[in-house]
A and B are shown apart, each in its own frame.
Chain A
Amino acid sequence: MEIFTKSLTKRRFSFTDIIIIAVIFIILYIILKLSSGMNIPFVQGDHLNIDLSPLMLPYYAGRSLLRMFIAFFFSLLFTFIYGYIAAKVKTAGSVMVPVLDILQSIPVLGFLSATIIAFMAAFPNSLMGVECASIFAIFTGQAWNMTFSFYHSLMTIPKDLEEAGQMLHFNPWRRFISLELPISAIGLIWNGMMSFGGGWFFLAASEAISVLGEDIHLPGIGSYLAVAVESGNVQAMLYAMLVMLVMILLVDQLFWRPLIVWGQRFKLEFSEAKEQPDSFVYNVLYRSFIMYWLYSHIFAPIGIFFNRCILWFFDRLEKAPHTYVSINAGYFVQRGCKVFIALFLLYELYAPAKEAVFMLYDIGFNDLYQAFIMGLYTGGRVLAALFLGALWTIPVGVKIGLNPRLSAKMQPLVQIAASFPANMLFPFFTILFVEYHVNFEYGSILLMMMGTQWYILFNVIAGAMSIPNDLIEATEIFELSGWKKWKSLILPSIFPHLVTGFITASGGAWNASIISELVSWKKYTLTASGIGAYISTATSAGDWNGILVGIAVMCILVVLINRFIWHRLYYMAQTKYHVD
């Protein structure tokens, strides 16, 4: 495991080390304390009290954070297993990658009610079930992106390194830690950070949920806000937002920044980049004696021990001489396996599918038609949110992107803004809507925009930054300005990034529709007609037919829109407007 920590050299013990030790112990203690709250007894019908005193906020925030990290751990685990199999077993990959693509595009929040019921059944008489459902919701917001990144890295390993690995007789484990893991590290860290940012939204949405006619409030910052909203306590709402912001900043500074700096060593290019990321925390840890001591006396020996065990295991496994990787002998076995898996899946799917079909049959054509119309309303709202978002983000993003100094400062800010769960802002807008009697059919578009516009802005900035300098100079020489400059240079060159931004934003908007088409403030409830409101109404009422229809309609619409709009635009962007 030497490659992961080796840059630590001898350090002297200093005052910072005392602080680091203290921080380590505090973190360990907090984790212990927080996790003990996860498995308290709970039966359906119990009411979990959320205390609105600001003193309780750190505890709730900690619980939420713990959930985020547990979900992240499982996302990582899922990424490695799923991505590795998809990349290594060709036949599995041809099924697993499209499945991942669909998973990525369907709005998972719609399934929350189903997962809560399932998890509650798995952990009867304990809060663990609800806890797991929340963690699962966050997981679904994080995992797909990371898995794609890992899969992509595995598929694009440079051929010469792959061959070098073979010539050096790497076994699968050695190949994994010496080649595959390092090569995918940078992509994983970046995507992990983005996914983690997206996870906050799911956290806030999944902690406080009314399902099957019951309100469940998991101890956490999302519930704190929800209870504050119910009781109309604006001060508590502001506290919650502030704590959320602090938490996002802390995680960014203490966890992601150091990771990004550390990850630089896995860059594949041989040339040194001009601007290196920097992190204060990383520097402190890097220089501290205690980290060095911990590394050389605890982590390194453990790592070496495990490494040796696994290598020994693989060596035993490979007593037989190496043979070529692809040999036809296993072909029939593979075939048989495929048929078996297909039959098994069909068998497993048969019963639920039959049930679903019967349910749909019961619902009748008219209701389906209604749901579909609702879906179209929401679709219109999603497009409107994207359009409105693009309207202000394109000019602003280009302005920022074309100014290197400004973009260096703004990019982290935009990233934080994108991480901030927009659903925590919803109550404030609800208050305004109620006060000024805004038509919520349109007002909900604004709510959708809150979360999704940042993705567009982020990508527009990146696009504007990537415009080659010589092209900008050329437009100046030809004295192109105003609309001409936009038409001939700026819009075509940001187009691929814009499409990427739209795709991400559209996914976010569909997910957001489930919570942004139905909001409440004290006794007022605002509803916009749309599939999102349809699903959340059905969820809180425990109307299984409604949930099923709503989710089905939404999934179909999202997948269709992805196939027929976004994929085409994406293809066009990749082929025609690719600036290289």
Chain B
Amino acid sequence: MKNLLELKEINKTFKIKGTSDSTILENINLHVKEGEFLAVLGPSGSGKSTLLRIIAGLIPSSSGTVSYLGKEIKGVNPGVAMVFQSFALFPWLTVLENVMLGLERKKISVEYKREKSMQVLDIVGLDGFENAYPKELSGGMRQRVGIGRALVSEPDILLMDEAFSALDVLTAENLRRDLLELWLDKKIPTKSIVLITHGIEEAVYMADRAIILSSGPATIIKNIDISLPRWRDRKSPEFLSYVDEIYSIMTKKKIPMTEMLVQTKKDLIIPSVSAGALTGFLELLEDLNEKIDLYKLADRFLMDMEDFLPLIEASALLHFTKVTEGDIELTEHGVEFARATVLERKKLFRQQLLEHIPFVQKMINILRSKSNKQMNIEFFEELQSQTFGEEIGQKQLELLIGWERYAELIEYDDNKEIVYLEQSV
């Protein structure tokens, strides 16, 4: 089977004002064969969407090549169509007109375009709705229009950008099955599908092959062939072992890295979790009172990977939990924290913050050294921006200030934009 799509040594860096460039994608090599359903998995902010947009030709890569049928592409990829997470329908056009836009460039008569679009609407289960406007439809049906619009141009490759994640659980499942049926029964001429997702089960359920990206900068850390017969049973041990394997890859790779960073006392990326959410998570773990598989945990709490991973990372970063081989358990500190009263918790949190997050220490030292014990926030923003760039730096500082306020290390006046040292510190 020949390669439909090939990515060679793709790098993507964004220029950020005032800092060195930040790298989003690093040395991505990837090929998609004819007849293949590929899933691209990664934690949020890992650059999955950026990768997809490079494949689509919406944004250029910083270096490396994307080729379609052996020919390097220099703009919008002629062989692909895309399904968007937010559907991206034109609200002022009817369902039929939205789908017909997919044929805009084809040199065929309007009548034929209409006929083809009607056929596609029939295939995606929307016949009878051709004259409806998107706002009259439910989320699932809107995404069917999005899929129809992508399919009508008969692309070789269908790109799906988190296409099911804006839908509720049942609707998403229904749509996944329908799409898979079209694909497996060859009712559509599409030769390959590339699905970007953060849902591990979704990937194992649908794809022939999954690649897993690490976060910041994203590299491919694993390529897994999912050789299960269709239709797959989500409860079967084989299915679950794939899910477990991917979970442990996605968490294992991350945590030793952050630990390494702590040891070298460098500033590190703080997972985006509020102190309140972290507390709740630790309490839940305490209630379980056992070492547990991460994917079972996520399942139990009905949580999305997107929300789940930052919690795990944050708790591990502060040494409240320990993660090994896809299992998670509370450390001594964690147990103590979960059982403590509100005021004691603040104290424990303060200890962990000062001990394990160098930047917090730095902030406190700076504030202490000033006679009036206060500092303009811009100063700290500047410090963070130098390491992370403006946008991420500000977000990071916001998170940290939230944590420090919870720990009663500092006070912050949002109007005057000044950080004060807490009196007790």
Interface residues of A (CB under 8 A from B): 2-3, 6, 158, 160-161, 163-164, 166-170, 174, 178-179, 182, 265-272, 321-324, 327, 576
Top 3 A-B pairs, shortest CB-CB distance: A322-B75, A164-B88, A160-B88
B81 lies within 8 A of A167 (CB): yes
B91 lies within 8 A of A270 (CB): yes
Contacts A166-B58, A168-B101 given; does A161 touch B81 at CB 8 Å: no
B104 lies within 8 A of A174 (CB): yes
Task: List 8 A-B residue pairs with CB atoms under 8 Å apart, sorted by A's residue number.
Answer: A166-B76, A167-B58, A168-B105, A169-B105, A170-B104, A178-B93, A265-B92, A322-B76
B135 lies within 8 A of A271 (CB): yes
A164 lies within 8 A of B76 (CB): no
Pick the residue among A268, A271, A324 that contacts B75 (CB under 8 A). A324
Q: B74 interface residue, CB < 8 Å from A?
A: yes
Distance A179 CA – B89 CA, assembled complex (angstroms): 11
Distance A450 CA – B265 CA, assembled complex (angstroms): 68
Distance A167 CA – B92 CA, assembled complex (angstroms): 19
Give min CB distance, B375 to chain A, whole Å.
21
Secondary structure of the A side of the interface? loop
Pick the residue among A2, A161, A169 that contacts B76 (CB under 8 A). A169
- 1/0 per position for B75-115, CB-CB distance to A under 8 A? 11000111011111111111001000110110000000000
Q: B148 interface residue, CB < 8 Å from A?
A: no
B81 lies within 8 A of A323 (CB): no
A270 lies within 8 A of B135 (CB): yes
Q: Across the interface, which residues of A come within 8 angstroms of B92, CB to CB?
A: 3, 182, 265-266
Give min CB distance, A440 to chain B, whole Å.
45
Q: B415 interface residue, CB < 8 Å from A?
A: yes
B135 lies within 8 A of A321 (CB): no
Distance A266 CA – B105 CA, assembled complex (angstroms): 24
Interface residues of B (CB under 8 A from A): 53, 56-60, 74-76, 80-82, 84-94, 97, 101-102, 104-105, 133-135, 142, 149, 415
Nearest residue (CB) in A for B61 is: A324
A178 lies within 8 A of B101 (CB): yes
Q: How many A-B residue pairs have CB under 8 A?
A: 77
Distance A323 CA – B76 CA, assembled complex (angstroms): 7
Pick the residue among A161, A269, A324 that contacts B90 (CB under 8 A). A161
Nearest residue (CB) in A for B53 is: A163
Distance A174 CA – B101 CA, assembled complex (angstroms): 10
Give min CB distance, A270 to chain B, whole Å.
5
Q: Across the interface, which residues of B come within 8 angstroms of A3, CB to CB?
A: 92-93, 97
B91 lies within 8 A of A576 (CB): no
B58 lies within 8 A of A178 (CB): no
Give min CB distance, B164 to chain A, whole Å.
16
Highest count of chain A CB atoms <10 Å: which of B59, B90, B133:
B90
Q: Across the interface, which residues of A come within 8 angstroms of B89, CB to CB?
A: 164
Give min CB distance, B305 to chain A, whole Å.
22
Give min CB distance, A474 to chain B, whole Å.
21
Distance A178 CA – B134 CA, assembled complex (angstroms): 15
Give min CB distance, A161 to chain B, whole Å.
6
A163 lies within 8 A of B74 (CB): no
Nearest residue (CB) in B for A9 is: B131
Highest count of chain B CB atoms <10 Å: which of A2, A167, A170, A268:
A167
Highest count of chain B CB atoms <10 Å: which of A169, A178, A576:
A169
Give min CB distance, A554 to chain B, whole Å.
36
Q: Across the interface, which residues of B come within 8 angstroms of A182, CB to CB?
A: 90, 92
B76 lies within 8 A of A160 (CB): no
Q: Across the interface, which residues of B come within 8 angstroms of A576, CB to CB?
A: 415
Nearest residue (CB) in A for B94 is: A6
Distance A269 CA – B338 CA, assembled complex (angstroms): 44
A160 lies within 8 A of B86 (CB): yes
Contacts A169-B104, A182-B90 given; does A321 touch B75 at CB 8 Å: yes
Give min CB distance, B283 to chain A, whole Å.
30
Nearest residue (CB) in A for B80 is: A167
Highest count of chain A CB atoms <10 Å: which of B60, B92, B142:
B92
B58 lies within 8 A of A163 (CB): yes
Nearest residue (CB) in B for A266 is: B92
A178 lies within 8 A of B60 (CB): no
B74 lies within 8 A of A324 (CB): yes
Q: Across the interface, which residues of A come within 8 angstroms of B134, CB to CB?
A: 270
A3-B97, A163-B88 known, 11 other contacts, Cβ within 8 Å? A3-B93, A163-B53, A168-B102, A168-B104, A169-B76, A178-B90, A182-B90, A268-B91, A269-B135, A272-B135, A324-B59
Distance A323 CA – B78 CA, assembled complex (angstroms): 12
Give min CB distance, A393 to chain B, whole Å.
29
A323 lies within 8 A of B74 (CB): yes
Q: Across the interface, which residues of A come within 8 angstroms of B93, CB to CB?
A: 3, 178
Q: Across the interface, which residues of B come within 8 angstroms of A174, CB to CB?
A: 104
Q: Across the interface, which residues of A come within 8 angstroms of B75, CB to CB?
A: 321-324
Distance A168 CA – B85 CA, assembled complex (angstroms): 16
A163 lies within 8 A of B84 (CB): yes
Distance A325 CA – B376 CA, assembled complex (angstroms): 40
Pick the residue among B58, B74, B97 that contacts A2 (CB under 8 A). B97
Nearest residue (CB) in B for A4 is: B92
A167 lies within 8 A of B76 (CB): yes
Distance A170 CA – B85 CA, assembled complex (angstroms): 20
Q: Across the interface, which residues of B come within 8 angstroms of A268, CB to CB?
A: 91
